[in-house]
Amino acid sequence: MRFILITLLCLCGLQAVEKPNVIFFAVDDMNDWIGPMGSKMAKTPNLDRLANMGVTFTNAHTAGVYCAPSRTAIFTGRNATTSGCYTDQVYFHNHPEYMPLQVAFKNGGYDTYGVGKLFHHPVGSIDPRGWTEYYLRTEDQKKNGWPVETWGYEAPLPAKVPASKFNQADKKWKGRPFMEVGAIPNEKEEEIVDTLRTNWACKIIKKKHDKPFFMALGLYAPHYPNYAPQRFFDMYPLESIKHGPWKEDDLDDIPEPEQKKKRARKAGIHDKLIKLGIVEETIQGYLAAISYADSNLGRVLNALENSPNKDNTIIVFWSDHGYAQGEKGNWGKHTMWQRTTNVPFIWAGPGITKGQKTAYTSSLIDMYPTLTDLCSITPDKDLDGESLKSILANPAKSPERTIFIPYTEPKSYTVVNEKWRYIKYKEGGEELYDLSKDFHEWNNLADNPEYKAIKEEMITHGPKEFALIGTSKKKLKLVFKGDSYEWVKK
């Protein structure tokens, strides 16, 4: 049928236009410590290579400040303020009418392949609709709600677990991998689950396809636990590691309710790391995990280069959010500050300028409308993002733009552009930072009357309405249906 269509178009004097393939490459918890974003913290030769192939957005931001809401926003094309999915809500239960990204591609004539952490990782988080194939490495996973289980099912682990002194010092530690860092023997690298998933994706990418394909690959790295092959730890000798810029009294000028929460968290993590003398070891593990993720990107780029699809494939690389490494005493995400919201965001492929950077303010929520625009397929209606197609074609002419990022509850959000960040908390507290002079957000200007007009202008870009919080996963139960499942109310 495809051959007949092409023949008819040629006979009519028209040229058949092949729709591009798409590689949708996700990582978890990767901040802006990478070469394409101007940092020398992490060694990322393959991200550098991808950046030379396309456009890097240096001022790109998450659509949610931790995994579940960010990924929900990406796949639905809707902010939490529209969907009500602020935390653990299951969008395909609460909003079955939404057409997620993979279904849009399926309806547009694509074969759709999924593997790894694309949605959140607990049981029942992956939207099972619209996939030609979703790779699960065990039969148990297929029958039990498609858990990601990166470090379960006999995946290789460090010789001693817990491997981190942070967790070894915790007498109540029960296997929670937060702040867990450790090396895995190099000879076990091919058994690590992110490697297995990448290799499976590479097999699909190398094939000659009768239809265009959408390949979505989600790595768990550099999410905790920061387990990676020893060779990546060796890239970062402890004596060479320096933490990023910290300001000891950095929490003093933020709103009181938030200050109280962050001081408690700082005491439990940041101060403990310093007391144990393992700040450098902890950062070493994070950097090793970034470089391990980068090496898997290299496998994908090599597979594409040696495939019949190399000239007609779009690649978009993204992290679901950033990750703090001690800034404001924070280790992790769940904040509306720069280190949490700023993310790696790199595009390459046909129609995309090569080797360019842009400071255009963009959001991961823009991926849905951009991909459907580039691939000439029909998106869902009423998406919240905007297509970046024109920016990708000519990044030098990018206009100014202001975006907002929802928090984990209604009436709390941040608004950001190239120069300013404004943060609003539902309790009434505010923060305002001049990013052109204060990239590290050390000086909160919200209470300074000199900046009243700036603050009021930023507020105009915030949400006008806030959707109510949707049905929590705690109020649902998972019903298994063969190799699939559905959520129903308890």
At 453-467, the pLDDT tens digits run 999 999 999 999 999
Query: pLDDT tens-digit profile of 113-152?
Result: 999 999 999 999 999 999 999 999 988 899 999 999 999 8
Is the pLDDT score of 217 beyond 90?
A: yes
Contact 418, 338 (CB under 8 A): no
Checking phi first, is residue 179 left (phi over 0); if not, alpha (psi -120 to 50) or beta?
A: left
Contact between 348 and 54 under an 8 Å Cβ cutoff? The reply is yes
Report the 10 Å Cβ neighbour count for 6. 14
Q: What is the mean pLDDT of residues 348-359?
A: 97
Rounded mean pLDDT of 361-376? 98
Rounded average pLDDT over 90-110: 98
Positive or negative, the CA dihedral 267, 223, 336, 328 is positive
**Stretch 422-447: mean pLDDT, rounded?**
97
Residue 423's identity, in one-letter code, is I
Q: Residue 11's pLDDT band (boundaries 50, 70, 90)?
A: very low
* Mean pLDDT on 76-101: 98
| Separation between Cα atoms, residue 141 and residue 482, nearest integer Å | 11
Give me the catalytic one of 61, 67, 202, 270.
67
Lookup: tokens for 81: 């303020």
What radius of gyration, in Å, describes the C-alpha atoms of the chain? Answer: 22
Give the Cα separation of 344 and 457 in Å (integer). 27
Peptide bond into 350 cis (omega under 30): no
Taking Cα atoms as reference points, which of 365, 336, 322 lies closest to residue 73?
365
How confident is the model over 34-51, as pLDDT tens digits? 999 999 999 999 999 999
pLDDT over 70 (residue 353):
yes
Domains (ranges, CATH) in the chain?
A: 21-406 (3.40.720.10)
Residue type, 337: W
Determine the Cα–Cα distance for residues 34 and 344; give it in Å rounded to an integer.
8
pLDDT given for residue 175 in this prediction: 87
Evaluate whether 176 touches 292 at the Cβ level (below 8 Å). no
Give Cα 122 to chain centroid, integer Å. 16
Give every CB contact of residue 69 below 8 A, 6+ residues apart in sequence: 63, 80, 85, 86, 87, 406, 408
Residue 9, pLDDT above cutoff 50: no
pLDDT at 17: 61
Q: Among the listed ranges 78-92, 107-121, 140-154, which one has the minimum average pLDDT value?
A: 140-154
3-state secondary structure the chain: CHHHHHHHHHHCCCCCCCCCEEEEEEECCCCCCCHHHCCCCCCCHHHHHHHHHEEEECCEECCCCCHHHHHHHHHHCCCHHHHCCCCCCCHHHHCCCCCCHHHHHHHCCCEEEEEECCCCCCCCCCCCCCCCEEECCCHHHHHCCCCCCCCCCCCCCCCCCCCCHHHHCCCCCCCCCCCCEEEECHHHHHHCHHHHHHHHHHHHHHCCCCCCEEEEEECCCCCCCEEEEHHHHCCCCHHHCCCCCCCCCCCCCCCHHHHHHHHHHHHHCHHHHHHHCCHHHHHHHHHHHHHHHHHHHHHHHHHHHCCCCCCCEEEEEEECCCCEECHHHCEECCCCCHHHHECCEEEECCCCCCCEEECCCEEHHHHHHHHHHHCCCCCCCCCCCCCCHHHHHCHHHCCCCCEEEECCCCCCEEEECCCEEEEECCCCCEEEEECCCCCCCCCCCCCCHHHHHHHHHHHCCCCCCCCCCCCCHHHEEEEEECCEEEEEEC
d(CA 132, CA 140): 20
pLDDT tens-place string over residues 60-70? 999 999 999 99
Contact 130, 106 (CB under 8 A): yes
Which one of 120, 223, 270, 321 is the catalytic residue? 120
In the predicted model, what is the mean pLDDT of residues 167-193? Answer: 94
Q: Is 67 a catalytic residue?
A: yes
Q: How far is CA 299 from the centre of its chain?
A: 19
Q: How confident is residue 287, by pLDDT bands cut at 50, 70 and 90?
A: very high
Q: Is 120 known to be catalytic?
A: yes
* CA proximity to 484, closest of 204, 179, 127: 127
> For residues 402 and 138, what is the distance between their CA atoms, to the nearest angstrom?
44
- Exposed/middle/buried for residue 356 (C-beta within 10 Å: 0-12, 13-18, 19+): middle
Q: Are 226 and 285 contacting, i.e. CB atoms less than 8 angstroms apart?
A: yes
Average pLDDT, the chain: 95
Confidence of residue 4 (pLDDT cuts 50, 70, 90): very low
Model confidence pTM above 0.85: yes
